């Protein structure tokens, strides 16, 4: 641990590690010293030996994420264990509305990808352990106890190996998750609204290949998503995200495997085949949360610490990743101009650039959730008519698909 860094990233998860990887290509040229402080121990360096688990959690990556990870230099490795989404099927349970999207129609190899979090984390951390990553110190297990703003730099008290140590930085980036205690210590409030739902997460095995199809199924009790995953142990696998009302989550979790599969078929149907196996089930409450402040002089907030949204359409991590690359681009530009990377003007420019993306993405997921939760017959007819019209109108479908793929905004170049 050095006494001073240009940038300290609090949190070495997918968002924090992605930021470090985004800055890495320019760090040597720009003399950027970066620290990543993580509460959990760093996995030992490996040759990317991957041992998938049947129950591994997964994340949906928009097609545009490919460009962002190419800029970081990890895409070729990451793609070794990705499941491409070649088709998306959207339907409204018990009603006529349905829309189908196909990668071939949009002239792309995939509409998106599904990556298991374990693999994405392994690839990111392995990149930060390569010989050319000497500008990045990974400090763990460690915890930032508090931050003291200064005139030109931030002071941090860090608990590392049971000892308190002090360091300074031009910029502190908080990427320590939605339950960030540090955010609270810094007096950063947030607006929060509960959806009255929990997401039940599990991996399930159909009796046939998923063939690259992702499903979004709207029901009267909440949306359901089924994502294609790599086969494991000779079994086909799909990642299930099933939203249920708060008062029913314990009942769903208490079901044995056979009863769970039966209830799943009752709600989802058989369009993906017959489910023959289900893994561990987990649940978490769903809420919309946005931090009151995302930038201060010398401070930026990223990922779930900045915003959390409904998992409908799988946009949460993709929004965070676009924020990561936008911040990295602003940092690189400031450094080239000889401006402090913690300069408030630099950070405000980043936030202003991202605020439209955040408002659009969060607003869209929130409004779609409310629209498809409304059981008013007239509203239901209108939304189903909209799905059908979208399905038969290729230009509208392309606009919708490009937005979902993250291709409707230019990507920074990180140079």
Among candidates 178, 142, 171, 179, which has minimal Cα distance to 157? 142
Average pLDDT over residues 300-316: 89
Q: How many CA atoms lie within 13 A of 100 on its CB side?
A: 7
Residue with token string 């530009």: 333
Query: How sure is the predictor about 50, in pLDDT bands with cuts at 50, 70 and 90?
Result: low
Helices 117-127/14-30 angle, 10° precision: 20
Phi, psi torsion values for 33, nearest 5 degrees: -105, 125
Looking at residue 98, what is its pLDDT?
Answer: 84
DSSP for 271-297, please give it.
Answer: TT--EEEE---EEEEEEEEEES-SEET
Looking at residue 45, what is its pLDDT?
Answer: 62
Looking at residue 396, what is its pLDDT?
Answer: 83
Rounded Cα–Cα distance for residues 37 and 167 (Å): 12
Among candidates 353, 315, 15, which has minimal Cα distance to 180? 15
Residue 126 domain-assigned (yes or no):
yes
pLDDT value at 374 more than 80: no
Q: Tell me whether the omega of the peptide bond preceding residue 141 falls within 30 degrees of 0, making it cis.
A: yes
Query: How sure is the predictor about 47, in pLDDT bands with cuts at 50, 70 and 90?
Result: low
Instruction: Enter the tokens of residue 129.
Output: 């352990």
Task: Give the dihedral sign, CA 348/287/379/239.
Answer: positive
Looking at residue 41, what is its pLDDT?
Answer: 82
Looking at residue 44, what is its pLDDT?
Answer: 67
Q: What percent of the chain has pLDDT over 90?
A: 65
Query: How sure is the predictor about 371, in pLDDT bands with cuts at 50, 70 and 90?
Result: confident
Give the CA-trace dihedral at 292, 294, 295, 300, to 10 degrees. 140
Looking at residue 79, what is its pLDDT?
Answer: 94
Rounded Cα–Cα distance for residues 244 and 238 (Å): 19
Average pLDDT over residues 194-213: 95
- Which is more confidently placed, 271 or 366? 271
Rounded Cα–Cα distance for residues 268 and 81 (Å): 27
Residue 411 domain-assigned (yes or no):
no
Looking at residue 366, what is its pLDDT?
Answer: 83
Query: How sure is the predictor about 300, in pLDDT bands with cuts at 50, 70 and 90?
Result: very high
Looking at residue 336, what is its pLDDT?
Answer: 96
Looking at residue 414, what is its pLDDT?
Answer: 79
How many other β-carbons are positioned within 10 Å of the β-carbon of residue 395?
7
Looking at residue 408, what is its pLDDT?
Answer: 72
Residue 15 domain-assigned (yes or no):
yes
- Which is more confidently placed, 41 or 153? 153
Phi, psi torsion values for 226, nearest 5 degrees: -130, 120
* Number of compact structural domains in the chain: 1
Looking at residue 52, what is its pLDDT?
Answer: 65
The range of the structural domain enclosing residue 141 comes to 4-63+75-82+115-192+288-374
**H or E element at residue 202:** strand 190-206
Distance of CA 411 to the CA centre of its chain: 17
Query: How sure is the predictor about 258, in pLDDT bands with cuts at 50, 70 and 90?
Result: very high
Rounded Cα–Cα distance for residues 175 and 10 (Å): 6
Distance of CA 50 to the CA centre of its chain: 21
Residue 325 domain-assigned (yes or no):
yes
Residue 107 domain-assigned (yes or no):
no
Query: How sure is the predictor about 51, in pLDDT bands with cuts at 50, 70 and 90?
Result: low
- Which is more confidently placed, 92 or 376? 92
Rounded Cα–Cα distance for residues 217 and 96 (Å): 12
Burial category of 126 from C-beta neighbours within 10 Å (exposed 0-12, middle 13-18, buried 19 and up): middle
Which of 24-38, 69-83, 93-107 is the least confident region?
Answer: 93-107
Residue 394 domain-assigned (yes or no):
no
* CATH number, residue 153: 3.50.50.60
Residue 19 domain-assigned (yes or no):
yes
Which of 52-61, 175-184, 248-257 is the least confident region?
Answer: 52-61
Looking at residue 270, what is its pLDDT?
Answer: 93
Looking at residue 93, what is its pLDDT?
Answer: 82
SS3 of residue 408 by DSSP: coil
Average pLDDT over residues 314-324: 92
Phi, psi torsion values for 381, nearest 5 degrees: -65, -45
Residue 252 domain-assigned (yes or no):
no
Looking at residue 69, what is its pLDDT?
Answer: 93
Q: What does the pLDDT look like over 80-134, one tens digit per residue?
A: 999 999 999 998 887 777 899 999 999 999 999 999 999 999 999 999 988 888 8
Looking at residue 46, what is its pLDDT?
Answer: 61
Looking at residue 174, what is its pLDDT?
Answer: 96
């Amino acid at each position: 641990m050095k006494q001073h860094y240009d940038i300290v990233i609090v949190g070495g998860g997918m968002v924090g590690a992605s930021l470090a990887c985004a800055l890495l290509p320019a760090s040597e040229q720009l003399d950027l010293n970066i620290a990543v402080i993580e509460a959990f121990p760093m996995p030992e360096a490996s040759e990317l030996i991957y041992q998938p688990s049947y129950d591994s959690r997964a994340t949906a990556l928009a097609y545009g994420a490919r460009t962002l990870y190419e800029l970081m230099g990890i895409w070729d490795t990451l793609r070794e264990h990705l499941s491409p989404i070649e088709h998306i099927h959207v339907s409204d349970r018990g009603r006529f509305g349905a829309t189908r999207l196909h990668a071939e129609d949009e002239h792309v190899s995939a509409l998106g990808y599904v990556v298991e979090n374990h693999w994405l984390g392994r690839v990111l951390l392995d990149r930060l352990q390569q010989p050319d990553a000497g500008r990045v110190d990974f400090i763990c297990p460690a915890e930032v106890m508090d931050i003291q703003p200064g005139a030109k730099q931030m002071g941090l008290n860090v608990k590392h190996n049971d000892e308190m140590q002090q360091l300074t930085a031009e910029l502190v980036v908080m990427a320590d998750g939605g339950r960030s205690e540090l955010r609270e210590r810094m007096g950063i409030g947030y607006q929060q609204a509960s959806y009255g739902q929990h997401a039940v997460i599990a991996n399930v095995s159909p009796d046939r290949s998923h063939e690259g199809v992702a499903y979004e199924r709207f029901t009267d009790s909440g949306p359901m998503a089924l994502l294609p995953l790599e086969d494991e142990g000779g079994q086909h696998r799909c990642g299930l995200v099933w939203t249920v009302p708060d008062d029913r989550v314990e009942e769903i979790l208490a079901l044995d495997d056979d009863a769970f599969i039966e209830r799943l078929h009752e709600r989802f149907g058989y369009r993906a085949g017959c489910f023959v196996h289900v893994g561990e089930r987990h649940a978490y409450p769903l809420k919309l949360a946005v931090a009151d402040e995302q930038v201060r002089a010398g401070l930026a907030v990223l990922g779930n610490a900045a915003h959390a949204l409904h998992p409908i359409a799988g946009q949460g991590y993709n929004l965070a990743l676009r924020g990561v690359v936008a911040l990295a681009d602003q940092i690189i530009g400031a450094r080239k101009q000889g401006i402090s990377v913690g300069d408030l003007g630099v950070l405000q420019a980043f936030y202003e650039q991202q605020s439209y993306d955040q408002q659009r993405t969060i607003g869209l997921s929130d409004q779609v959730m409310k629209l498809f939760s409304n059981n008013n017959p007239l509203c239901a007819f209108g939304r189903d008519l909209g799905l059908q019209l979208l399905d038969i109108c290729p230009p509208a479908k392309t606009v919708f698909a490009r937005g979902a793929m993250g291709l409707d905004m230019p990507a920074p170049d990180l140079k």
